[in-house]
Chain A
Amino acid sequence: MMPANLVGTAVALGLFVLAGGAYGVLYTASVARSSILLERASYLCYVSQLLIALAVCLVSPLGLLWKLFIATSALAYGFIPPVTWRLLEKMHHQHAQ
């Protein structure tokens, strides 16, 4: 791996998770506050994450299996915030009953 590729790939992987985190935080905040603006911002973060994953798959020198793994986890990140939210809502709802 060339030095430029090393830094580029590492930074992209860090940003990949950071964008996923920002998506999770903004999505949760948007549902809690019923804010369309926050919801759009959250989807923007998720789209950024998908684009970063695409860039890693197309440009980085990682092996094919690692690229597939990144692509799959990019899709998994999309489900985590809504699924977690629903789970928490269900738990709180059951408790309230």
Chain B
Amino acid sequence: MYRSQRLALRYFAAAITLFGVMTAAGLLSALYYVDSSLLYNVFDFQMAKILHINTLVIWLLMGFIGAVYWFLPRELGREVVGIWLAEVLFWIFCAAVAVVAVVFIFVQYGSSDQFSMWFINQGRKYVEAPRWAAVGIVAVVLTFVYNVTATAWRARRMTGILWVLILDLVPLSVLYLDAFPQITNMSHDLYWWWWLVHMWVEGTWEVLIGCLMAWSLMELMGTSRRIVEAWLYIEVMMVLGTGILGLGHHYFWIGTPQYWLGIGGFFSALEPLPLLGMVVHAVYDAGTHHMKTTNRPAFYWVLAEAFGNFIGAGVWGFMMTLPQINLYSHGTQWTVSHGHFAFWGAYGCGVIAIIYLVLQQTRKAQNFDSRAWKWSFALLNLGLVGMVGGLLVAGITQAIYERAQGGSTLQAFVVASENQWFQSGMYARVIFGLLFAIGYLVLVYDLLVIGKRAAVAQRTQEASA
């Protein structure tokens, strides 16, 4: 095993740990809606939410980085260039995440000055990590870009997937710099901030997971390189063709010119089309292999990724993306419902699939199956669907009573929050959130043990033969 692949395993362990922190913080955030006095003035809602969202970004990012460190040496047949630097930065990254989490939990916030921005909270949604940690993330990402490009350069070999990946890493790293400016005009600030949030999530991350899925399909199903690369090019063209200007759906109500209503509505309404193509491709692949594979957990998580992406991003997104609907739905729990479903489908399932794929190879188990993965698969997906269902009911209630009827006043907000449909949706979110948390625990157990017994039995059998 290459050093880079050992580093990948560490990244996966860190990612799964942060997935747990995200789940716990999410469950806590859900509880505030059913008991508003919970931990009042001790650990308020906004801190739990910050922890929930930031760990979401970091666990997925760590999963992606780990996956690239796993696949890259296999792709190029050599060790990653500058791997020692990546190893050092991994520990710095983990320490920084831990320190930021401790600051978020115990210090929480400071006065409105430079010190708070540098050492407590940067104050920009989704990228709240203080400035020193944000600089650290830039260092980690730049090292990662260096590792990938220098390895390809040194290997004197380039593949289609690597081309797409390297080209994608440029905007991936440059767009993060959008976390830094201090713009006092809120419209200007949000205008650029959405470049980071939208272009990462609906642009560069989509391409990145496309590259990772291409490698995964080659290993999981033995699909040929030519086929996955041809499909990757088509997918990238379609995702970027609709996704880049789909950015406009975030510009509807932030003070930007009116033409964004048309541009944003049109391009974001096109976004489900490439997702439909991906679903067709997934069913095609599953059909040609008659649902047979040596790694069922990875296979089913890949299928969940294709369907989850289509339903979460496509169906849930299309419900609320046209400006006439979005006027009432934006900023309600409806958006939260869409965000949960889309993130889980597009990225969460993909990272879990890759981890299962990698574990089969590290444990050298031909019979890679268990009962636990089925339980975790069912609990996590059922929990997630239940949560987004509850949030959808709560969000539609807000859109009707707070926005359409109440005219978005504070009084209307209170009335909507006290509505029994909203309350029921929030209780449902807690119950299904608990189910999701149990699914996470089963997943961790399964990742620790799956394939180990089979591998031992296999070796014993080989030795006796």
Q: Give me the interface of A with B, judged by CB distance under 8 Å.
A: 1-3, 6-7, 9-11, 13-14, 16-18, 20-21, 24-25, 27-29, 32-33, 61-63, 65-66, 69, 73, 76-77, 80-81, 84-85, 87-88, 91-92, 94-95
Cβ contact of A28, chosen from B273, B284, B400, B404, cutoff 8 A = B284
**What CA separation (Å) do A64 and B283 show in the bound complex?**
36
Q: Give the CA-CA distance A6 to B219 in the complex, in Å.
A: 46
B328-353 vs A, Cβ < 8 Å mask (1 yes, 0 no): 11000000000000000000000000
B252 at the interface (CB under 8 A from A): no
Spell out B's residues near A (CB within 8 Å): 224, 226-227, 230-231, 234, 262, 265-266, 269-270, 272-273, 276-277, 279-281, 283-284, 287-288, 310-311, 314-316, 318-320, 322, 324-325, 327-329, 396, 399-400, 404-405
Kindly identify which residue among A6, A13, A25, A95 contacts B404, using a CB–CB cutoff of 8 Å. Answer: A6
In the docked arrangement, what's the CA distance between A28 and B279, Å? 9
Q: Are B310 and A21 in contact (CB under 8 A)?
A: yes
Closest to B262 in A: A65
Quote the shortest CB–CB distance from B421 to chain A (angstroms). Answer: 11
Our pick among B226, B262, B269, B319 for the contact of A91 (Cβ within 8 Å) is B226
Known: A62-B324, A69-B266. A32 touches B287 (CB 8 A): yes
In the bound complex, do residue B318 and residue A14 qualify as a contact, i.e. CB atoms below 8 Å apart? Answer: yes
Measured in the bound complex, the distance between the Cα atoms of B357 and A82 in whole Å is 31
CB distance from B109 to the nearest CB of A (A): 36
Where chain A touches its partner, the secondary structure class is helix
Q: Whose C-beta in chain B lies nearest to the C-beta of A27?
A: B280
- Selected from A24, A33, A88, A92, the residue in CB contact (under 8 A) with B279 is A24
Beyond contacts A7-B400, A77-B273: 6 other A-B pairs, Cβ-Cβ < 8 A, are A6-B400, A9-B325, A13-B318, A25-B279, A80-B277, A80-B280
A33 adjacent to B318 (CB under 8 Å): no
For B270, the chain A residues whose CB sits under 8 A away are 73
Contact assessment for A17 and B322 in the assembled complex, using a CB-CB cutoff below 8 Å: no
Contact A17 B280 (CB under 8 A): no
A30 to B327, CA, bound (A): 40
24 A-B contact pairs sorted by A residue (CB < 8 Å): A1-B328, A1-B404, A3-B404, A3-B405, A6-B328, A6-B399, A6-B404, A7-B396, A10-B329, A14-B318, A16-B318, A17-B272, A17-B318, A18-B311, A21-B272, A21-B311, A32-B283, A63-B324, A66-B265, A80-B277, A81-B276, A84-B281, A88-B280, A92-B288
Task: Tell me if B325 and A6 are in contact (CB < 8 A).
Answer: yes
B404 / chain A contacts, CB cutoff of 8 Å: 1-3, 6
Interfacial chain A residues near B405, Cβ < 8 Å:
3
Q: Which of B266, B325, B328 has the most CB of A within 10 A?
A: B325
